[in-house]
Amino acid sequence: KASQMTLGNDDEKMKDYGNKNNEDEKVDLCLSIFKKFLSDLKLSKYENVFIENGYGDLEKMMYLEDEDLKSEEFGVKTSDRKYLLKKLESLNKDHGKFKEWIENVVKLPLYSQPLYNEGIVT
């Protein structure tokens, strides 16, 4: 099938790439994506609150619940909480679909780990 492609020699390159990531670059990338996400939602005012509470990247934000956001540590307004949680839920579903597509349709499960390492798939 055309949708079940493989990349042959590129598979080995991807293995190497997944092992050579610079931790500082990954942290910077995750932080940049996190900031862009909040900015796109017009919720940048909460940026520092999330970072101070250890949620300065989208992967960690996926674990936030309504009760967390209501707490004194976060203090997120009700309308912002509901909006943020809906967007996180949608983002989580999209990432799941992308990971499933990579592994099952394109038949490249080898790429899952490097994409996870880059924060593209969580």
Token pair, residue 75, equals 């203090």
Q: What is the mean pLDDT of residues 17-43?
A: 77
Token pair, residue 38, equals 């909040």
For residue 13, what are the CA distances in angstroms to 7, 9, 36, 89, 96? 10, 7, 30, 33, 24
CB 75, CB 49: distance < 8 Å: yes
11 pLDDT more than 80: no
pLDDT single digits (tens) 45-102: 999 999 999 998 888 888 899 999 999 999 999 999 999 999 988 888 877 776 676 6
Pairwise CA distance, residues 69 & 75, whole Å: 6
Q: What contacts 15, CB < 8 A, 6 or more positions away? A: 110, 114
